[in-house]
A and B are shown apart, each in its own frame.
Chain A
């Protein structure tokens, strides 16, 4: 049978002009200031005097076509058929008539899309694929996020935090969810179990050896077959060997635990950008709702909310009160596992007499 003529792809990255709301296109690069009339709504004023109101709503990120069509119906009715998405999977509707704001909010909430995520709120969790689609996940993503956002629903809808709060989850230590004020990340606690029958067929052994951050993997002959072995005393259980070599089975229903990290910050506002720091580990991978993780996240958030000064991000707040008081106030134990011993770790030790009492 004759093959159909192969279509050559059109390689071109399109511009966004035709997708912009008409008022955004007309005032491109010419905005003066903004304010927030209520949580979930931004009000931007252009130098031309034009004004737009943006209504932001949360989504599940992983959406079925019926949900997306519903979001489109709402855009056609209120927002001149235009929408945009934020980096945290919130949808934004832009309206040029203030009178449309309240009915738009009502319509979104009636259809189950919470309006919020602006200003000093807890926005939607930046997250990964997890069990739904990833080839190396230690846990799920959408489910963790759903249960977390259920618990933080009011904090998404209100602007009552000291500053904005950004969360992330990651299903392995690669941390695809990224740095965040609070991040939930898989932390394996056992070295990989090696399927020696498979290694020779599936893995490029030198690549796997090179991938290990602590040089714990070496080639070995096991049961007469070329395979790999792991020095379990050296192994830091990071899972880096698993993506290039699936027989290095790192995921474990019991021993792949969850850790919680705080104080990551991407913005340059006030302090320089910073990485999040581990404050809890050993939490069970307790699908479908991960209650142990959510309880700690909620607790940290509530302590931060009560104790931080206006405009202090999580990292700014901890810098003021100090780590000992962070652990005291949150009731979390400080353990030896939190003392950095990776490269550059000396800079994370206290080389001063600065001690808070």
Chain B
């Protein structure tokens, strides 16, 4: 039995209503833990005064420079003593879950047992960067809790100016739209950068996210410095039986309104099956015995809309890989940026392909480490130096897929034009 709970009239109001309540969870923990009794008091104080009261500091584990988020209370009495003394320290351990956030229950139960023993018993599944967040631990318990977690086979995530924990979608494990082995890419990349995750020494954070297709379930283009988005180069795969099944259920109006007219590049047309073009870049799926939906794969941008609506009838092709974008980040300081294409297509089939992806990540991080200003993300660095300079720095050739359109202003010195064209032509001839 823990000590007497503090009155929490405001938090109590978050126990009503149908959605699962974190307050009810905290109160359950507070029955046995003075720590959580005081945590509830601390949080109620925030609700009452509408302010936060945690400050950072320095707490870590042996061998690592990051991964623990230290929190010390700022709610003090007139003598400078913590008012909620049992929750005066409320550190978080960031732990990397396996790719795709899959668990067996034995593992989850072990996490629970460790965190009940050393911490508050509160676990966030998961933080926005993709970590298991073991929330609430005293300074002295951080190391023993970490030792047990590490011995389970889990490693600590990133914090501060470092490579951060990566994220990958469910992908090949359960999704027909998967265009590469997201978990494999995720695991290989993170294992290369463990030193940069655990020992923060970069200008600022660097995030990798892995989505298996353009639906980008990991929000990689927006939320990561290097986004690996699955795609394919050849024709869309089609399945006539599933096409007919879809059409029988949904009919022509839905086909036209929900699919054909919503294609962003007008790559779809409804045709009599006999009139479907025979060119190599055309694919078609049967709708009934006489009509087909024709796809011009040269016009298609792999946006995924028609595939999402007619799952299985249409699908990604066989020549799979990824489009790579660099420079996504949230607000502050130049405003949010989305990633920019720097590799339109990288094949991801063989082991060597994945090694090439890891190498590209290394090249980009090396350039970032050398050239970014303190507290500058890759997207901000690229905005400051220009994409062309960044590409030159990482030795990647320019490609028209990297822009929405060529420049619309004349403010550039094109004096090197002839040499540049000669260089491109020589490279083409040598390829």
Contacts and interface: CB of A to CB of B under 8 A. Distances in A.
Q: Tell whether A pairs with B.
A: yes
Interface of A: 6-16, 18-21, 24-25, 28-29, 31-35, 44-45, 52, 54, 58-69, 71-72, 75-76, 81-87, 89, 91, 94, 112-114, 126-140, 142-143, 146-147, 149-150, 153, 171, 173-179, 207, 210-213, 238, 240, 246, 251, 253-254, 256, 264, 266-271, 273, 275, 285, 287-289, 309-311, 342-343
Contacts, number: 350
A153 B55 contact: no
B17 A147 contact: yes
B103 A270 contact: no
A266 B374 contact: no
A242 to B, nearest CB: 10
Contacts of A85: 97, 101, 103, 125-126
B154 A28 contact: no
B357 interface: no
Interface string B117-157: 00001111111101000011000000000110011011110
B309 interface: yes
Contacts of A14: 98, 153-155, 187
13 contacts: A7-B62, A7-B150, A16-B173, A19-B102, A31-B174, A133-B90, A136-B52, A178-B223, A211-B375, A240-B333, A253-B49, A287-B47, A288-B13
Contacts of B303: 268-270
Chain B: interface residue count, which band?
A: 35 or more
B215 A13 contact: no
Contact of B104 (A29, A81, A91, A140): A81
A130 B50 CA distance: 11
B19 A310 contact: no
* B52, B130, B155 interface centre (most CB from chain A within 10 Å): B52
Contacts of A240: 332-333
A132 to B, nearest CB: 6
Contacts of A89: 124-126
Contacts of A8: 62-63
B52 A137 contact: yes
Given A11-B194, A64-B122, A68-B125, 6 more contacts: A16-B99, A61-B124, A62-B22, A71-B108, A178-B223, A178-B330
Contacts of A178: 128, 219, 222-223, 330
A15 B174 contact: no
B425 interface: no
Contacts of B330: 174-176, 178
Contact of A31 (B17, B151, B176, B242): B176
B290 interface: no
